[in-house]
Structure formats: structure tokens, C-alpha cells
Amino acid sequence: MNASRWTGEDVERILGLYERGYPSREIAEMLGRTEASVRYKILSLGFSTRRLVCDSSVQSAPLPMPGPEPTVGRASDPTEETLLRARRELELGERRKEEREKVEDAKREILEERIVDEFRRTLCDLPRGFAFSPPPQSTNAATPLTAVLVVSDAHIGQVIDPDETEGLGNYNPAISLARIRHLELEAIRILRERSVEKLLLLFGGDILHGQLGHTLEDDLTVPIALQADLALNLFFPFVWGLSKVVPRIEIHGVAGNHGRWPGMRKMPTDRRWSNLDTIFYGSLSAVCLHSGLSNVAFDERISSRRQIDTGKFRLQLLHGDEVRGGNFCSGGMNREVHNSTLRNVQAGREAIDYYIMGDKHFSASVPYGTGAFVVNGSFVGVDGFGMNFLPAPPAQTLFFLHPQHGKTETHEIRLSPARLSSPPPYNLKPSLEALVRKYL
């Protein structure tokens, strides 16, 4: 055996034999080197010393005769060897990348199949026992107003254990039902006291809790298909009740960030609407249509931001998870107003008057330009994440737009006083009623 340096020709031979499946011992015999030096060289080139090929034809093939012994003083070409090694490592990296992509695609396909199967098993029955009649014509002589009710961050399906929040937070499907009903009754009371020509019902995302939290790991978790089923059976009678007191309802919705598909680390910029919230909006739209709610219209557009024209004013609805920075997100609001204004001016449109978002779980109305930035609260109140921030009571926002003067009054409807009546206020199917009673 000799200890001569490896040449470019030697490297080509060793890689050729290695890729044909010869073990290190046989390669060493053919090259006239020690097995240890061959194994070390293969490892230094970025390959495993385990055989890649287990083909019987290769194993039975006669060993090639070793070539002439390299001269002891023969010089190698380090540049050629380095380039060869780089090419081999790039090829190996590409193969590993392809394998990782195949595994990720397979995992995503399995998760999607599980989600679809769960929806098939769960979403079988529609809300029942509703009869629609048009609302009476208002006799109020005051200037007709446009009402705007913002509903966001309901997190249907979330369960908050009071023991994990020092007794400061508590939320579950039964509390969700009580607070939705309380919001409906309070909104109806306020709407009846005013002359309203139209209600804009703006769903600001995170209607479903999704599966981002660690609660997936405990036995209190509500599966995502059951979340969608419960949300539909709670918000349809909510819309039905509002439709009896206002002449017309327009419903608009944007996707939140909690209803993202499994495996997404953050919300995508493209196709953000491919989301559990959007599935809920489509289901609610279909149920309203087939139930004969003739004065309810759905906006079927899909986008991360929804611009809505009502009279002389323009509204922009967004979830708001991308609006960050500054105390109470004031820096993020400034950027959103600035960027949105430039986008609309470039497109030859009027600037936005009122920006409406959820996500932050607190209520606020901040003056901006010709209007305001309205931040909606949540149904949840204090949860584990909210323990890191200033406390904000569960609340939703209802405000009115005067046809000339814009936003004239804003109501922060507090949801803490909500109590669940017996029997439950909505006609739930047995499986959902059992789910609600589990948390009473």
C-alpha cells in the first residue's frame, strides 16, 4: 500500500466505484489503498460510506483490474478536486431538498384529508326552526343612518381554563353562545331607537379559534370542524334576529390569522382567504340564502383588505394582525393609513375615511385624517396570551354613520354581563347542545 496524495483522476475513480455500489474494502483493493483512507476520502467528499446501490447485478460483476500504481511524487490538482466536490455536494443537496419537499407534500395531503373527512362527519345538519318575515317600516322622521356592527375575534371553540389565568379569564362554547346572544339583544335595542336604513355587518376574522394554541393537546379542545359547525349554528340565528329590525343588511368578511391551515407558521400574503373563517362565511351566506333572508346580502369578494363604499364615505376592513408597532399599535396604524392612502391615490381613488380592524382584543377609536381607525374588541377577554398585556374586557363595536357628518356615535357593547338562559336561546341540534352543556 502507498500513501500517495489523491489526484483528480483518483477522485473520479473512487466516486465512480462508490456510485456503482462497491464497498470501501473492495474500492481500496482496486485502488491499492487502505480501507481507512478510502472511507475517509468518501466522507470528506460529502457522502456516506454506506452503499447506495444494492443491485445484484453490481454485486456479481467482476471487479475491475486496478490501474497502474500512481507515482509517489505525483501532484494533484486541488482546484479540480474542489470543484468536483462542490458539484457532488450541490447534487446531494438537491436530492435531499427534493426528498424533504416530498415528505412535506405527503404530510400536507394527509392533514387536508383529515380535515375534509372531519368536515364531512360534522357538518351534516343546518340550523333549524326559523321563519323569516320582513322588518316593519320605520316611522322615525330623523335622518336615516347607516349602522356598522363589527364582529371579530369570537374564537369559537377556544377553551380558557380559569386555573391557568389566576381566575381572571374564562371562556368556552357555552360562554360563546351567551355572549353572541347578548350582543344580538343589545344591538337590536340600540338599532330600534334610531332611524337606520342599512346595517353593515363586518366580520373581522378569527371567528373560529382554529388550532394555533397548545389547547390542541388537552381533552377540552373542540375539533376545527365542530368549531365551524358551532359558529354557523350560533351566528345564523344572530343574523336572523338582526334582519327583523333593519330594512337591509350587508355582510362583509375578511380572514383572520387563527383559522390558518395546519403547518402554516404565519399567514401568507397571497391567498390569505384560504382560511377556516372564509369557509364559515361561505356557509353562513349559503344558509341565509336558502332560508329566504331576502334583505341580507353577502359580499363574496376575497381579499385580505375589504374596501366598502357607503354613501360619501369609504371604509376599509382588515383583520389587523399585520398592523404592529408603537403603544396600542399606533405606529402600525400610521403605516396602514399612509400606505393605504398612497395605494388609492395611485389608483385614482378616494382615500379611506374609516379603518376597521380586530385582532388586538381591545376597543378603541383613534381619529385619523377625515375619519378614524376603529379597533374592535373580542369575545374572549383575558386568556393566557392576554396575561402579558393590559386587561381589556370582552366587547364588540357598533357605530353609526350620518350621511353628511360621518361617524356620530360609537357603542362599545360589553359582553361580560352575558348569562346563558335555560333552555339555550338558539335551537341547537342535539350534538351541539350537548357540547354547550358540557361547559355549564
Question: What is the percent of the chain with per-residue pLDDT over 90, rounded to a whole number?
Answer: 46
Q: What is the CATH number of domain 144-437?
A: 3.60.21.10
**Of 2-11, 83-92, 255-264, 333-342, where does the model show the most confidence?**
333-342
**Which cell numbers in the block locate residue 22?**
462497491
Q: Which of 127-136, 273-282, 367-376, 398-407 has the lowest mean pLDDT?
A: 127-136
Beta strand ranges found along 158-239 (DSSP E): 196-203
Cβ atoms of 126 and 287 within 8 Å: the answer is yes
User: Locate cell 402600525: which residue?
Assistant: 332
Mean confidence (pLDDT) of the chain: 84
- pLDDT of 59 over the 70 cut: no
The per-residue pLDDT for 121 is: 73
Q: Which of 191, 190, 301, 321 is nearest to 246 (CA)?
A: 191
Number of H helices, E strands in the chain: 10, 11
The per-residue pLDDT for 264 is: 66
**Please, which pLDDT band fits residue 30 given cuts at 50, 70 and 90?**
confident
pLDDT tens across 194-240, in order? 999 999 999 999 999 987 554 444 444 788 888 999 999 999 999 99
**Mean predicted confidence (pLDDT) in 266-285:** 82
Cβ atoms of 374 and 356 within 8 Å: the answer is yes
User: Locate cell 400536507: which residue?
Assistant: 108
Outline which parts of the chain fall under CATH 3.60.21.10: 144-437
The per-residue pLDDT for 179 is: 97
pLDDT tens across 64-96, in order? 545 554 444 444 566 777 787 788 888 888 888
The per-residue pLDDT for 293 is: 93
The per-residue pLDDT for 70 is: 47
Residue 39 burial by CB count (10 A; 0-12/13-18/19+): exposed, middle or buried? middle
- CA dihedral of residues 321, 322, 324, 329 (deg, nearest 10): -60
Q: How, if at all, do strands 145-151 and 395-402 pair?
A: antiparallel
pLDDT tens across 322-374, in order? 898 888 888 999 999 999 999 999 999 999 999 999 999 999 999 988 899 99
Higher pLDDT, 202 or 438: 202
Higher pLDDT, 379 or 304: 379
**Mean predicted confidence (pLDDT) in 130-155:** 82
